[in-house]
Amino acid sequence: MIKEGRKTKGFGEVSAYMFGDEVAKKQGYSPVGLSANAGYTIGYHLIKQYLANSNKSIAEATLTPTEEIIRISKFFD
The reply to whether 28 and 55 lie within a common domain is: no
pTM for the full predicted model: 0.78
Domain residues for the domain of 26 are 1-36
The pLDDT confidence band at residue 74, using thresholds 50, 70 and 90, is: very high
Do 43 and 31 fall within a single domain? no
Kindly report, residue by residue over 12-51, the tens digit of the pLDDT: 788 888 889 998 899 998 899 999 988 889 999 999 999 9
Give CA–CA dist 37/35, Å, rounded. 6
Q: How far apart are CA 48 and CA 57, in angstroms?
A: 11
Please check whether residues 31 and 64 belong to one and the same domain.
Answer: no
pLDDT tens digits, residue range 46-71? 999 999 999 999 999 999 999 999 99
What domain count does the chain have? 2
CA-based Rg of the chain, rounded to a whole angstrom?
14
Q: Are 47 and 61 in contact (CB under 8 A)?
A: yes
* Cβ pair 16, 32 in contact under 8 A: yes
The pLDDT assigned to 26 comes to 92
Q: Are residue 44 and residue 73 in the same domain, yes or no?
A: yes
Check residue 2 and give its pLDDT.
81
Shared-domain flag, residues 43 and 74: yes
